[in-house]
Structure 1
Amino acid sequence: MRLIALLLSLFAAPLCAQDRTEVDVELFLAVDVSRSMQPYELEIQRRGYAEALVSPEVQAAITGGLLGRVAVTYVEWAGVQSQRVIVPWTMIEGAEDATRVASQITAHFDEALRRTSISGALDHAAASIEANGFDGLRRVIDISGDGPNNMGPPVTQARDRVLAQGITINGLPLMTQDDSFMSRWNIPDLDVYYTACVTGGTGSFVLPVVEWSAFADAVRQKLVLEIAGLPPERLWRAQAAGRYNCLIGEEIWERNRDIFALP
């Protein structure tokens, strides 16, 4: 019996490894759908990602990789426990796969969710990457957002946990002008916040979006860089002047919560 148990233990790991699929990159697309986002902005985001995935540039990046395939999931996030899986982990190795994923993204449009927990999104993404059944040469979380973390653990703690697992975090801060009531929880230097507090890892970068009309182009450029693993120095990167306050979002939330008696 001991001999049988020993043989089973020796062969268990290789058998499990065979069940996993190797890809050039495991790409977790984490898309902000917090209440500060307007309905038309939520639609722009989904259509922008869908268009980017089927674009010739992204298709060339996918097929031009060492293995010629990537694993992608598209998840919308807001509060700590608010993660909505729109596209589960799916392998893309050609135009047909990309079109199918794009169709899933734009099949219907859901409403926004409450609060902004970048830390919750990062922790969720890292756990999802670990359990997804793929082995990527690179592992990347691509996170977008229009405001700083204001719920859950400090964002720097979540970032450091993710980076310790060898996962790269890239940022797409949405710095569009918005006169809505919810915009009072945003900050003018969100690109600097993402650089100082959210992103990190090998080849990480931040690509800000300042106009919604430029969103689709920014997403396409970002996906090409992430999938092809191109040098991040090709992109502008914000620099924080001195030490940045990475708890600014929590502080803003507390101030406004008192003023407006928010729950």
Structure 2
Amino acid sequence: MVRSGFIRLAAGLACLWVLLAPPAQAQADKDVDLALVVAVDISFSMDTDEQALQREGFAQAFRSKQVHDAIRNGMLGRIAVTYMEWAGSPDQKVIVPWTILDNSESLMAFAERIASTPLRRAQRTSISSAIDFSVKLLGESGLNATRQVIDISGDGPNNQGRFVLEARDEAVAKGITINGLPIMLRQPGYLDIPDLDIYYKDCVIGGQGAFTVPVRERDQFVEAIKTKILLEIANLMPDQPLISRVQTPSRTNCLAGEMQWRDRWSN
């Protein structure tokens, strides 16, 4: 009698486990080679032409055959991407939520959602808040990702929110890689800094295999974005130049943006 009672109890627990356990397919749907946050600068320093080029660059990247092939060549053949826009510390907005990309149809639909959203602009530049918001998106995604990457594009230094190094270092400590697309289409002017690419290298990017792809000419914009997305999906780094300068630039002041903003109001 006791033995049969144990058998019935074990059978009941087994049935309960089957009912409560998530289906294997549902769990598999959360497994991806890469979870990628595309974080795009929409501050007023970006003119509407630059914003339109930026949008077109990301849309074309996700439409391209090379990107489709890179996804298919991954271990699982699927990635998850979300596209968000940022400006000052209180201004981050998800434009396209987390989307699994595993075939041409899903990629084309994702690109169309990026391209069809109206442009907007906002005040200030808080790279640190963009990183923090991106880390939160990754943490709340529910994805099981082999790699987690934040793709930050912008045309100026951090000038609001907490220090960018603090946000960068906390993200990297969580195993997240931050890559950068410094936009350098204009001569440095009001609230800009020279050598933005070096600022991104020293102050913004970090983590395993982190890299930047600077944009210095308008006709490079779309191709640079496509190259960067392709490298991130394929888990590659850009080729290093065969010839390097003997005199490397001095380390960037990672508070340059904050100091510019302070000086603006003290004069």
| TM category, shorter | 0.7 to 0.9
Q: Which runs of 5+ in 1 are unaligned?
A: none
Question: What CA deviation, in whole Å up to 9, does each residue of 1:78-113 have, x standing for no partner?
Answer: 011211211101010011101101111111322211
Q: CA deviation at 1:242?
A: 3.7
Deviates more, 1:193-202 or 1:232-241: 232-241
Question: What CA deviation, in whole Å up to 9, does each residue of 1:33-86 have, x standing for no partner?
Answer: 001111111111111100111111111111111110100011010011211211
Aligned 8 A contact 1:49 1:216 in 2 = yes
The amino acid across from 2:258 in the alignment is E
Q: Please tell me whether residue 202 in structure 1 is matched to residue 208 in structure 2.
A: yes
Q: Where does residue 250 of structure 1 map in the other structure?
A: 258
Q: Where does residue 152 of structure 1 map in the other structure?
A: 161
Which one of 223, 231, 242 corresponds to residue 225 of structure 1?
Answer: 231
Q: Where does residue 239 of structure 2 map in the other structure?
A: 234
Q: Where does residue 130 of structure 1 map in the other structure?
A: 139
- Distance in 2, matches of 1:16 and 1:32, equals 39
Aligned 8 A contact 2:163 2:255 in 1 = yes
- Distance in 2, matches of 1:76 and 1:223, equals 17
Q: Where does residue 213 of structure 1 map in the other structure?
A: 219
- Distance in 2, matches of 1:14 and 1:204, equals 38
The amino acid across from 1:197 in the alignment is C
Aligned 8 A contact 1:43 1:109 in 2 = no
Aligned 8 A contact 1:176 1:209 in 2 = yes
- Distance in 2, matches of 1:15 and 1:149, equals 43
Give the RMSD, CA atoms, in angstroms. 2.6
Aligned 8 A contact 1:207 1:235 in 2 = no
Which one of 103, 106, 118 corresponds to residue 94 of structure 1?
Answer: 103
Query: What percentage of residue pairs aligned between the two structures are identical?
Result: 45
Question: What CA deviation, in whole Å up to 9, does each residue of 1:185-236 have, x standing for no partner?
Answer: 1111100000000001001001100012111100111111100111x25255
Aligned 8 A contact 1:46 1:106 in 2 = yes
- Distance in 1, matches of 2:143 and 2:225, equals 23
Aligned 8 A contact 1:196 1:240 in 2 = no
Q: CA deviation at 1:258?
A: 3.2
Q: Which runs of 5+ in 2 are unaligned?
A: 1-8
Q: Secondary structure at the match of 1:23?
A: strand
* TM alignment of 1:32-43, pairs within 5 A: 32-43=41-52
- Distance in 1, matches of 2:234 and 2:253, equals 33
**Structure 1 residues 252 and 95, CA, compared in 2 at 3 Å: closer, same or farther?**
same
Q: Please tell me whether residue 120 in structure 1 is matched to residue 126 in structure 2.
A: no
- Distance in 2, matches of 1:244 and 1:253, equals 17
- Distance in 2, matches of 1:164 and 1:240, equals 27
Q: Secondary structure at the match of 2:82?
A: strand
**Structure 1 residues 101 and 193, CA, compared in 2 at 3 Å: closer, same or farther?**
same
Runs of 4+ in 1 over 4 A off after TM superposition: 13-20, 235-240
Q: Secondary structure at the match of 1:106?
A: helix
Aligned 8 A contact 1:70 1:91 in 2 = yes
**Structure 1 residues 235 and 170, CA, compared in 2 at 3 Å: closer, same or farther?**
farther
The amino acid across from 1:184 in the alignment is Y
Q: Secondary structure at the match of 2:39?
A: strand
